[in-house]
Structure 1
């Protein structure tokens, strides 16, 4: 979703007044913001909203991924090793060749062995696959997973109009998330960037999410994602998406930037353009102990440095979004060239 049109001063003032008065932005407002060539103004407006909601907090949690590839005992063994390293949240990926019934079995075993870890697992597309494989309804699939300890989905990239293989349509995405929210699950929602879509398409997706959130209140966090391959997006487009998302999604508490997909520098800048949380990764180690291709996983100290360098105070949460610890804020003298924060 690109940008680059000059917005006259009167239009800017009108949008500023809407944002500052708490008036909900409309579709045409979102498109105008996306098309604005003044990224500094747009980022500043989003930062104002972000600061009003979260102050100088930059949230994070220590999470790791776990792909279910074998038995429950194997998953527990590797998860226990991650917990010993201070991990608070497991992001569990469905095993592509694993029978449906093995997934709730693994969740139950993980929850029993490691009750202090939050279990975030699967996507709407996975639930749809389980629905087909088990001959159960999506509601029954979710009941089985919740009973086994599921607390949230991991995310996923479905629901955004045009879909790629393995993704869900908006109809299935909204159906499954609506069911999940009715059962008490708090889930993330996402937008996959870099598909060459017009700004209006991205804005439409954000407003669909906003409408569903009005209905259910079940989305806890929104995260724009970059494609691993097959798409391209500039740094300015990334930051524009974060800013517009913060301004449009007035009913979603948190906007997260994924450090793994966006990189450290972009994550720091995203915190200055509307994001309030740094998400580590949707990847990590599979249940056979094989490391992914992103290299060594960031440590807690890495995240503290990133958030402070962006000008914020690190706030560590657990997997259930309860604050664990509030750290000292940015120290401008800690590095020779600390990153400036837009005020």
Structure 2
């Protein structure tokens, strides 16, 4: 990207200006993902500080945008995001990944955040992105997670598999083991958000806060201990 245009776009982002369709297409054309992510994260933290909302199995009133299909032009996503921007009130845009490399996902989320208005939520569809990419996207404009597999369902499946090989242990063992697995699944989700340097906030379908968890451990303290790698 030509340095003058890059500087002008950066100034407009930091000034809180609305970007245009042409701006969005230009931003999609850049390979400077670190720069793009920095701008998107600025926009995201201006509205939501360090908070990341999430819900397990709670449908929300949202508009899904699928991306990553072969041959899908940049203009298609830009137009989809701008159509949402014209709706009254804060909207929730859920981006669902169909295909494509992780770099494409980072670029897509960053550009979507830069085009949306401040009150809009930009939601990662957890099921189509997986934990590793979801964690990266939290620093590329995303402020919310949805379609997280219910820990209870995962726990139930794991317990059933164990029970098939240990039928004599009975319901008492099954209940205790299920509870332990549910706690482990929830803890992994919280750790993923904390490791991204953000604060997990459980919400309901209307984005009302159910539980605001602790703030993340400061970066200097986190560097003093080995960090988990999400794969």
Q: Normalised by the shorter chain, which TM-score bucket? A: 0.7 to 0.9
Tell me whether 1:35 sits opposite 2:43 in the alignment. Answer: no
Report what 1:171 is aligned to: none
- 2:35 and 2:196 map into 1 onto residues whose CA distance is 18
TM-score (norm: length of structure 1): 0.53
2:43 touches 2:118 (CA, 8 Å); kept in 1?
A: no
Superposition pairs of residues 281-296 of structure 1, within 5 angstroms? 281=148
Aligned to 1:59: 53
CA RMSD of aligned residues (A): 2.6
SS in 2 for 1:233: coil
TM-fit CA distance, 1:323: 1.4
Match of 1:224 among 76, 95, 107: 95
Q: Which residue, out of 185, 190, 202, partners 1:304? A: 190
Shift in Å, 1:18? 1.3
State how far apart, in whole Å, the 2-side matches of 1:40 and 1:284 are: 33
What is aligned with 1:247? Answer: 114
2:202 equivalent in structure 1: 316
Structure 2 residue 185 is the aligned partner of structure 1 residue 191:
no
Moved more, 266-275 or 197-206: 197-206
Q: Alpha-carbon deviation of 1:40?
A: 0.3
Report the CA distance shift for 1:256/1:322 in structure 2 as closer, same or farther (over 3 A): same
- What is the number of residues matched between the two proteins? 198
What residue in structure 1 maps to residue 167 of structure 2?
A: none
**Cα distance, 1:37–1:18 mapped onto 2, change above 3 Å:** same
Q: Deviations over 1:294-339 (max 9, x none)?
A: xx98832222111001111111212221112221222316851267
Which residue of 268, 275, 278 maps to 2:142?
275
Gaps of 5+ in 1: 1-6, 65-88, 90-119, 121-151, 153-186
- What residue in structure 1 maps to residue 102 of structure 2? 235
Three-state SS of the structure 2 residue aligned to 1:223 is: strand
Distance 1:271 1:284 in 2: 21
The structure that is helix-richer by fraction is 2
Match of 1:202 in 2: 77
Describe the shift of the 1:324–1:284 C-alpha distance in structure 2 as closer, same or farther (beyond 3 A): closer
Q: Which runs of 5+ in 2 are unaligned?
A: 158-180
Is the 1:49–1:246 contact (alpha carbons within 8 Å) kept by the matching residues of 2? yes
